[in-house]
Each structure stands twice: as C-alpha cells, then as structure tokens.
Amino acid sequence: MVNYDLEFGMQQEEILTDQQSIWRYASLLPVFNTSNQISLGEGNTPLLTLNNLSTKYGFKNIFLKDESFNPTGSFKARGLSVAISKAKEFKRKKCIVPTAGNAGGAMAAYCAKAGMEATVVMPIKTPSIFKEECKLYGADLILVDGLINDCAKKVAALNINNEFFDVSTLKEPYRLEGKKTMGYEIAEQLGWALPDIILYPAGGGTGLIGLWKAFKEMKKLGWISGKLPRMFAVQSSNCAPIAAAMNHSENWQTKFIPSATIANGLAVPFPFGMDLMLQVIKESNGGVCIIDDDAIIIGLKEIAKTEGLIISPEGAATWMALNQLCTNKVIKHSESILLLNTGTGYKYFENL
C-alpha cells in the first residue's frame, strides 16, 4: 500500500487542485510528475439523493454515489487512470489485466490514451459490449472459459517474463489509490462529513478498502472527525466468498463453489484482498449481505421506475441489501445511508 507523509492540520487549500477529476487530489496520489497523468475526466461524479425511494420506504436520507458518470461507465476508471499514469511514469509500454468486464474496458481506454498496448483477459460469458469496447480501444482481448480467477491464472502464465505491467486487483498499489478518491469526494460533497452507513458491492474489494483508506487519511489530516461509517459489503448469492470466510473462517475455500451472476463484477471467488476487506468490515462494525440475482433485477427495475436511473446490477444489489439489513434491524431507517452505484446499467441489458 502507498503511504504518505500526512501532517495533521494540512489545509485543504494547500492540497486540492482545481481539476474537475480525481486529479483534484493529485498530492494524495502516487504519480510524481503531472505530465504523466492520464486523464479522461474520471471522478467528480454526482452524489444523488434517492428522495423518491426514501419517501416510499420511510428512510431519512439515502445518497447514491453515482459512478456511472465515469469514462467507460464505471468506477474502474478511477483506479485505471492512476495505474496507467504510473505505468507511464515507470516507462512501461504494455499492460495486462484479468477482468470481470469493467476494469478491462477502463484499462483499454487509458492505455489507448497513453499510447500503450493493452491485453485484457475476460470470462467468455461476459456481455458482448464489454468485449466490443476493448476491441474498439485497440486492446488484445483473450476470452477464458471460467471466472475472473481463471483469467488471473491466464494473466500469470502470459506474464511469466514480466513483459507486461500487470494491474490485477491489489497486486499493485495504484488502482487502490485511484479508487480511494471516491472517499475524498464523498466527504467533500457532504461538507467534509460522512454518512453513518455505506453499502458497497464487493468483488475484489478495491472500492471498500480504498474508501476506508481515504477516511483514515482524512482523519490523519484533520479534515474529518467523529465516527467513521459502518461499511457493508454486498455480494451475490452465486458468489459470496466474504460471507463464506466470515462463517467458516479457516477452511472456507475448500467448501466454496462459486458460479456466475448477472452482476458480473461480483463473481470474484477468491479475492486476493480478503483479509483487508474483513479488516475494514470488522474495524467499522459493518457486515456482509447476500442478494440473489432475481432480487437484483427487482431492485434495478424499481430504481429505474422510481428514480429514473438505470444503474448496474452491482449497484442495484446495494439497494436490496439495504432493505434486507433494515428488515433484520441491522440498519435503522433514520440513519444517513450511502449506496455505491459502481457502474452504468446500460452495459448489462443482455443479462437482464
């Protein structure tokens, strides 16, 4: 992980730039030379209020951090902007990634902008738009019959000679730094305050871990005070390794049988960052919630009809999880709640 020399009391005016992207937080990101920043205008996404759903179900306040506004339509743009910028700083020419879909498109786009070669390894059963966008951005696309863990094996085999800059989730520290900017933005959009609860659709977990890292950095800087949000990971019932790890701890992997889900980004059977995710959940007094594909579709349609937003199935899962957690009295309707919509729903029509 990247650590910074943060001093308590450093003023926001000294640190924040006036760029309308994640590069507003450039001093808190690990790219040294501004000429290496590869930007497509990522970040600075809206914090919407789901007032129709709040009224309908009696919530005080539900925010939606809407990451569908990012280049390539997902929050993956933040991490890939930083990782590809760093690859440029390291003078690397070729990048590779295993992906459930969105990270591949984002990497391909940032490599195109940086003039680098991109190789994307993706499960064969991914909606075709995720494949087509990679090809349009000029990437080499390799399809694998399996889930993202099988794609990761393929990447390791292809990169045995370290020919590529490998941006596999959490195997390098830079994507996490890009993702953490969501945490800074949320605090800034709420007037340097945070909600009581955050629900995040967790696959490999960079968003969850990144948000938490941002909150801790902001505490160190003295930009926020008080209790940090309780962090809830939302998973698909087809692939819920965090729940398995929490329930069976040590030997969960031997009994675990994952399968694909319509929320492609949640099909991450053996996340490399499991321990870090568990630590965030424990430290924040949060939890995990499992939602099945049928419920995800119900949630997605309800948000479209009620709020006028076609969000990703991953994002829709957080809305269904909120209902479940309220029914189980884990979360109160009176708390301030933030759902993360990690991507656009427009790429998933084939799944619906």
Ligand X SMILES: Cc1ncc(COP(=O)(O)O)c(C=O)c1O
Torsion sign, CA atoms 160, 166, 168, 172? positive
Please, where are the H alpha helices in the chain? 12-15, 51-57, 76-89, 102-114, 128-136, 148-158, 174-189, 206-221, 241-248, 252-255, 274-283, 293-307, 313-327
| Contact with ligand X (CB under 6 A) among 203, 229, 258, 269 | 203
| Contact with ligand X (CB under 6 A) among 43, 98, 123, 207 | 207
* Helix H or strand E encompassing 339: strand 336-341
Judge contact between 63 and 339, C-beta under 8 A.
Answer: yes
Cα dihedral value 321, 345, 300, 268, nearest 10:
-30
Q: Minimal CA–CA distance to 119: which of 95, 147, 103, 151?
A: 95
| Residue number, nearest CB to ligand X | 265
Task: Give the x/- contact pattern for ligand X in 240-269, rule: CB under 6 A.
Answer: -------------------------x--x-
Mark the segment that binds ligand X (CB under 6 A) among 94-102, 244-252, 253-261, 324-332. Answer: 94-102
Q: Radius of gyration of the chain from Cα atoms?
A: 19
Closest approach of ligand X to the CB of residue 352, in Å: 14
| Contact with ligand X (CB under 6 A) among 195, 205, 241, 299 | 205
Closest approach of ligand X to the CB of residue 37, in Å: 22
Which lies closer to ligand X via its Cβ, residue 81 or residue 342? 342
Query: Would you count residue 105 as binding ligand X (CB under 6 A)?
Result: no
| Contact with ligand X (CB under 6 A) among 81, 119, 181, 342 | 342
Q: Minimal CA–CA distance to 336: which of 64, 51, 60, 56?
A: 60
Closest approach of ligand X to the CB of residue 203, in Å: 3
The rounded distance, in Å, linking the Cα atoms of 101 and 95 is 16
| Contact with ligand X (CB under 6 A) among 30, 123, 195, 343 | 343
What φ, ψ does residue 311 adopt, rounded to 5°?
-100, 170
Which lies closer to ligand X via its Cβ, residue 214 or residue 221? 214
Which lies closer to ligand X via its Cβ, residue 204 or residue 221? 204
Mark the segment that binds ligand X (CB under 6 A) among 122-130, 137-145, 198-206, 302-310. Answer: 198-206
Torsion sign, CA atoms 78, 82, 83, 85? positive
Closest approach of ligand X to the CB of residue 347, in Å: 9
Which lies closer to ligand X via its Cβ, residue 73 or residue 223? 73
Q: What is the 3-state secondary structure (H, E, C) of 273-306?
A: CHHHHHHHHHHCCCEEEEECHHHHHHHHHHHHHH
| Contact with ligand X (CB under 6 A) among 83, 103, 214, 322 | 103
Closest approach of ligand X to the CB of residue 56, in Å: 25
Q: How many chain residues are in contact with ligand X, going by CB under 6 A? A: 19
Across the strands, what pairs with 121? 98, 142
Which lies closer to ligand X via its Cβ, residue 81 or residue 312? 312
Site for ligand X in 138-197 (CB under 6 A): 169
Query: Would you count residue 71 as binding ligand X (CB under 6 A)?
Result: no
Across the strands, what pairs with 311? 344
Site for ligand X in 17-46 (CB under 6 A): none
Q: Minimal CA–CA distance to 240: which of 306, 310, 300, 289?
A: 289
User: What residues make contact with ligand X under the rule CB under 6 A?
Assistant: 74, 100-103, 169, 201-207, 265, 268, 312, 314, 342-343
